[in-house]
Structure 1
Amino acid sequence: MYIGVDCGTQSTKVVVVDVEAGRLLGEASRPHRLDEGEHGRREQRPEDWVVAFRGAFQAAVAEARIDPRDVRAIGVSGQQHGMVALDEAGEPLYPAKLWCDTETAAQNDALIERLGGEPGCLEKLGLVLQTGYTASKVAWLRETRPEVYRRIATLLLPHDYLNFWLTGERVAEAGDASGTGYFDTHRRCWRHDVFAEIAPELDAERVLPRLIESDEPAGVVRPALARELGLSEGVLVASGGGDNMLGAIGTGNIAPGLVTLSLGTSGTVCAYSDEPVPVEDAMVANFCASSGGWLPLICTMNVTSATNRVRELFGLDLAGFNDQLHRAPIGAEGVTTLPFFNGERVPPLPQASASFLGLTSVNTTPANLCRAVVESATFGMRYGLERLGKLAAGASQIRLIGGGARSSVWRQIVADVTGTPVVCPQVTDAAALGAALQAAWCDRRQTTSLASLCERLVHLDPAAAAEPRPANVEAYHQAYDRYREALQRHHGIPATP
C-alpha cells in the first residue's frame, strides 16, 4: 500500500493506493485557513498543514479499511513557491508566504534588475523570476522582518516541510526547487551566487536543503511518528515534489505529446519535455519534472478562486452555479471578465484587480456574470497554451484535473476554447495520486519503472470526455478576441500572441 499526500492552498488531501490491484482504496481531506491582508498578503501556518495531514491520513486509512502497517511508502505533493523559514530547532519562524502572495512584487522587480534583467535570469536560472516565487519572499523578509530573517537556519518549500516533519531530513528535489528563483533549472542545482543576491547574510550551504533525485527517498518516517500513525518502522518517504509536477505524474504526463491543464485555485498548463526548452517567452517557467526531464509550465492565479467568489456573491452552491452556466450563451451576451482578484502571473500583472466589462441593463444577470468568469478564467488558460508554443500545439489531448474539471459545462468550454479534445483521469486529485505513484516508484525503483506504474494506475474516464464543437470553437474565437482586446485596453497586454 502507498500513501499520496497533496498539501494545497485550501486543504491537505490523502489517498491510499493499492498498486497490485491498480486502484485507489480511500481518500480524505482536511481544510486549511488562508490568512489574507493588504498589499496582496496571503499566508498560512505550516503547523496547520500538519494538523490537516493527521486528520486526512486517519480518515483515508479508515475509508480504505487497511492496516496502516501495510503501508510501504509515502509521497508528498505541495503547493509550489511557499517560503517556510525554520529556526535552529526546526520550528517555523514566520507564517508561510504562499504562491499567490503578491506583497513582494517590488522585491521581485529589484531582484530581476540585479540579476541582469530577463536575459540575466534566463542565463542563470533558465527562467525569469516571478513575484510568486520564493526568492522575492526571502528578500521581503530580509527587508521587513530583519529580526526574523537573522534567525533563519533552513529555508524549505511546503512539501519539503512536510517531508522534514515526517523524517527529520532537510532535503529538496529538482521539480519543486525549480520554483524557488535560486535554482538553475538547466543544470539542476542551487545557484549560490543568485542566493547571495537575495540573502547576502545567509550561508547557502547551510540554509538550503540537500538536493536528492526524484526517485530517491527523503528518508524514513520518524519512529515516534510511525508509532502514532500506526505505521511499521522504516516506511519510506519519497522525494515528493510540487503539486504541478506530481499532478503531471498523476495524469500520466511523463512523456512528450500530452498537455495537463489544471482548473484548481490557480490554473496551470504544462507539457513534458526530455530536454530543457529554450525559453523565449519570460512567462514560460522552464521547470524540471519530478519524473526526470523537464516540465515547461504556465501558471495563472485566478481560476476556481475567481469562480468561487462570483458563486458565493450570488449565494449559489455548485449545482446552482452550473445551472447558471447553462442558462447563459457563449460570450455571456457581451460580458467580459478580467478575473484578477489575486493579481496575475500570466500575463505579469501582480497588482491588477478584477473587472467586469461590457455590462448593460440587459445583460447584467447572474447567469452572464457566472458564465463570464468561467469563460475568462479559461481564456487565461488558452493564453498560457499559446505561450507554450510547439509543445502545446502538437498535443493530441488535454488531460484536465482540478476542482473545475468536475463540471461537465466547464469541460466543454475548455474543449471549445482550446479546440482540443479533453478527458479527465478517473482520479481528478491528480497531485495526490502522483505522490502515491512516486512513492511506489521510490520503493520499487530497482525493479519497476514509473511509466509502468502510470499505466497501471492512471485511468481515463470516458464519461468525462469532451470533443470541441466546430460552431462553438468559432464563437469562442470571437469571445477570446474580445478578452484580448480588453487586456490590451486596460493593462497594455498586446492583443495578438
Structure 2
Amino acid sequence: MLPTITVDVGTTSVKLCLFDAAGALIASARHSTPTTKDTWGEIYDVEALQGIVSAFISELDPPDRASVARIAITGVGESGGLVLPDCSLASPMILWHDHRGADRLSRLTDSDRTLVYRATGLPVNANYGLSKVAWAVEEAGENASTAHWLNVAEFLAATLTGQRWSEYSLASRTMALDLTEKTWSPEIAALLDLDVDVFPELRTAAHGSPLTARAARDLDLAESVVVHVAGHDHMVGAIGADLRENELLNSTGTTEGLLFNRSVPDLDDAAALAKLANGISCTGAEYTLFASIPTGGSAFATLQSMLAIDAADLTAGIDAAHRRYLAGDVDLDRIPLVLPRFRGSPPPTKDAAARGIIAGLRTDTTRDELVLGCFLGMVRQFQDVLSLFPLRPERIKVIGPAGRNPLWLQLKADLLDTTLSVSQFPEVVSLGAQALASGTTARWEDCDPRVVLPDSPRHDLLAQWCERTAPQWEHLKGTPA
C-alpha cells in the first residue's frame, strides 16, 4: 500500500482518513455533508466541501503529511454538475436524490426505455445523472459548450489536478454509458437532446493525475502526490471487502446497497423488470449488479425523530429489544408491521414519492416493539429485494453502520437463514480507495470481520410470521404513493 488520504463524500457525511503504507488508520475525521438549497432543490456547498478537505490535510502532523503519496476520492453515485476547463462550475453541483430535470424522462417511450436498459443496464430513473445533465445544459446556455459533467468526487479531483475525467463505476451511474462498449453512448444522450461531448474522458480508478503546483503548495503536499477518483462508494466498498464471485456485499449507510460482481452485465427482460442496476467495477474489468434500498442507516434518525428520543436512548432500546429477541421473549404477533419506505421505495418500483407505513398499532404497543418492528421491516424489505437477483449468495459481507447494530444483524441472519460476515472496521470504503490508488488488493481479514450465525428455531418463527402477515405486507407495498 501507499500512504493515502481518502475522501468519501457520502449522502449525510464526509469521511476523511489517512492510511499509512501498512494500511493502518493514522488519522480520521467526519463532517456533515455540506449542502444548501437553490430555487430547484438541494445542492452541494462546494466551497465548504473543499474547505473540509483542506482543513483535514492542514491539521495532519507534518511528518504524516510529508509521507502522503496518494489522494483517493469516492462519492455517491448519481450526483454531479457541469465543470468548465478552469474547473469552475457552470451549474450547481446537484445531489443524487434531487430530481430536477425529471420531466424530460416522461417523454421517453417504452421502446426508448428498453433501449436505455439494453445499453446502460439502468432502469430509467431521475436519480441517475442523464436528466440532471439535460437540465444543467439547458440552464447553463452558452456556458455549457466547453463544460463536462463530473460527479462530485470527480469535481474534487479536477480542482486538485486541473484535469477532468470520469471513473468507470461513477460513469455507469449517469445512464449515458454503454456498458458493453464501455464508452459514452451518443444514441442514449440524444434521447434527451444532449451531445455526448458533454461527458469527459473515461478512466479506471487506477489511473490518477498529479497535483497541480498550486494545489501542492496550498495543501503543503509534494507535487508528486497523485490524485485518484476511486469510484462509487458502494463499489469501492466491494474492493475494500475483497468481494468474490457469488458473494453479496451488503453496504449499509444512509441507504442500504446489495451488490454482486459479475463477469457480464445482466441486460435481460427479468433484470429490467426488477429494475436492477448494472454497472462497471472500479477496476474497469468486471461488471456489478446492484440494488439500493433508500432507507438504511437513516432509519436510526427517523426513529429518533418519531419517538422523540436521543441517540443514546434509541441505542439502549435497540439493545433491550435485541436481548428480548435472543431470549425468546418476543410475541411476533404483537409487533407492528412496518413498511420502512421512509425515503422512497426500492426496486422493483423505485418510487421516490413512496413513504413508510406502520400497521398493527395497539393501545399498549411499546416503544421497544415499534423499534423491533422497524428493523424487522427493514430485513423483510431486504429479503424482497434480494429475491430479485438471479443468484443466491454463498456468503454475505456486511459493511457500514449496521455492524454496530446487533438487532439489525441478527434479524437479517435469522430471516435469511444465512451466516453474515460483518466488518468491525468502520471505513471499508476508504480501505478500498487506498487499495485502488495503490494498485494492490485489499484483504477482508483486515476489516476485522466477525460472524453472525442464524438460529434455526428463530428462522422458523420468522418464516411463519412472514407467511401469516404476507397478505397485509403485500397490501401495504401496493399502497399508492
| Alpha carbons 1:85, 1:156 under 8 Å: kept | yes
1:11-26 pair list within 5 angstroms? 11-19=13-21, 21-26=22-27
Aligned with residue 290 of structure 1, among 273, 282, 288: 282
Residue 54 of structure 1 corresponds to: 54
Residue 446 of structure 1 corresponds to: none
| Alpha carbons 1:251, 1:430 under 8 Å: kept | yes
Q: 1:383 to 1:43 in 2, by over 3 A?
A: farther
Q: CA deviation at 1:141?
A: 4.3
Residues 1:119 and 2:119 aligned together = no
Residues 1:260 and 2:249 aligned together = yes
Q: 1:407 to 1:361 in 2, by over 3 A?
A: same
Q: CA deviation at 1:345?
A: 3.8
Q: 1:161 to 1:332 in 2, by over 3 A?
A: farther
Q: 1:422 to 1:37 in 2, by over 3 A?
A: farther
Q: CA deviation at 1:157?
A: 0.9
| Alpha carbons 1:130, 1:345 under 8 Å: kept | no
Residues 1:99 and 2:89 aligned together = no
Residue 415 of structure 2 corresponds to: 417
Aligned with residue 180 of structure 1, among 174, 182, 199: 174
| Alpha carbons 2:58, 2:220 under 8 Å: kept | no
Q: 1:15 to 1:474 in 2, by over 3 A?
A: same
Residues 1:461 and 2:452 aligned together = no
Q: 1:343 to 1:149 in 2, by over 3 A?
A: farther
| Alpha carbons 2:117, 2:267 under 8 Å: kept | no
Residue 326 of structure 2 corresponds to: none
Residue 380 of structure 1 corresponds to: 381
Residues 1:191 and 2:185 aligned together = yes
Aligned with residue 437 of structure 2, among 436, 439, 447: 439
Q: CA deviation at 1:194?
A: 1.1
The residue identity in structure 2 corresponding to 1:187 is E
Deviation sequence 1:140-199 (CA, Å, 0-9, x none): 446xxx443553222111111111112111101211111101111222111122112224
Distance in 2 (alpha carbons) for counterparts of 1:319 and 1:467: 27
Aligned with residue 302 of structure 2, among 275, 296, 309: 309
Q: CA deviation at 1:78?
A: 0.5
Q: CA deviation at 1:80?
A: 0.6
Distance in 1 (alpha carbons) for counterparts of 2:461 and 2:135: 45
Distance in 1 (alpha carbons) for counterparts of 2:184 and 2:399: 31
The residue identity in structure 2 corresponding to 1:247 is G
Q: CA deviation at 1:383?
A: 2.0
| Alpha carbons 2:23, 2:431 under 8 Å: kept | no
For normalisation by structure 1, the TM-score amounts to: 0.85
Residue 327 of structure 2 corresponds to: none
Residues 1:235 and 2:225 aligned together = yes
Distance in 1 (alpha carbons) for counterparts of 2:211 and 2:465: 52
Q: 1:330 to 1:155 in 2, by over 3 A?
A: farther
Per mean C-alpha deviation after superposition, the further-off stretch among 88-97 and 258-267 is 88-97
Residues 1:67 and 2:54 aligned together = no
The residue identity in structure 2 corresponding to 1:178 is S
1:126-137 pair list within 5 angstroms? 126-137=121-132
Residues 1:488 and 2:480 aligned together = no
Residue 462 of structure 2 corresponds to: 476
Distance in 2 (alpha carbons) for counterparts of 1:127 and 1:32: 27
Deviation sequence 1:76-117 (CA, Å, 0-9, x none): 111110121234543234433322234555433434x2x725
Residue 400 of structure 1 corresponds to: 398
- For residue 387 of structure 2, give the secondary structure of its aligned residue in structure 1: helix
The residue identity in structure 2 corresponding to 1:14 is L
Residues 1:163 and 2:157 aligned together = yes
Residue 447 of structure 1 corresponds to: none
Deviation sequence 1:273-311 (CA, Å, 0-9, x none): 222234422221111110230111111111122331112
Aligned residues: 463
Distance in 2 (alpha carbons) for counterparts of 1:484 and 1:103: 36
Residues 1:84 and 2:81 aligned together = yes
The residue identity in structure 1 corresponding to 2:239 is I
| Alpha carbons 1:127, 1:285 under 8 Å: kept | yes
Distance in 1 (alpha carbons) for counterparts of 2:316 and 2:250: 24
Distance in 2 (alpha carbons) for counterparts of 1:439 and 1:373: 39
Residues 1:360 and 2:362 aligned together = yes
Q: CA deviation at 1:332?
A: 7.7
- For residue 163 of structure 2, give the secondary structure of its aligned residue in structure 1: coil
Deviation sequence 1:248-286 (CA, Å, 0-9, x none): 111111x31321102210110001122223442222111
Distance in 2 (alpha carbons) for counterparts of 1:181 and 1:70: 39
Distance in 2 (alpha carbons) for counterparts of 1:483 and 1:432: 40
Q: CA deviation at 1:478?
A: 4.1
1:341-360 pair list within 5 angstroms? 341-346=342-347, 347-360=349-362
- Coordinate RMSD, CA, aligned: 2.7
Gaps of 5+ in 1: 442-449
Deviation sequence 1:369-388 (CA, Å, 0-9, x none): 22222222222222222112
Distance in 1 (alpha carbons) for counterparts of 2:315 and 2:39: 32
| Alpha carbons 2:357, 2:476 under 8 Å: kept | no
Q: CA deviation at 1:9?
A: 1.2
Gaps of 5+ in 2: 322-329
Distance in 2 (alpha carbons) for counterparts of 1:211 and 1:378: 37
1:327-346 pair list within 5 angstroms? 327-328=320-321, 329=330, 331=332, 333-346=334-347
For normalisation by structure 2, the TM-score amounts to: 0.88
Per mean C-alpha deviation after superposition, the further-off stretch among 472-481 and 379-388 is 472-481
Q: 1:312 to 1:235 in 2, by over 3 A?
A: same
The residue identity in structure 2 corresponding to 1:204 is V
- For residue 387 of structure 1, give the secondary structure of its aligned residue in structure 2: coil
Q: 1:127 to 1:484 in 2, by over 3 A?
A: farther
The residue identity in structure 2 corresponding to 1:469 is D
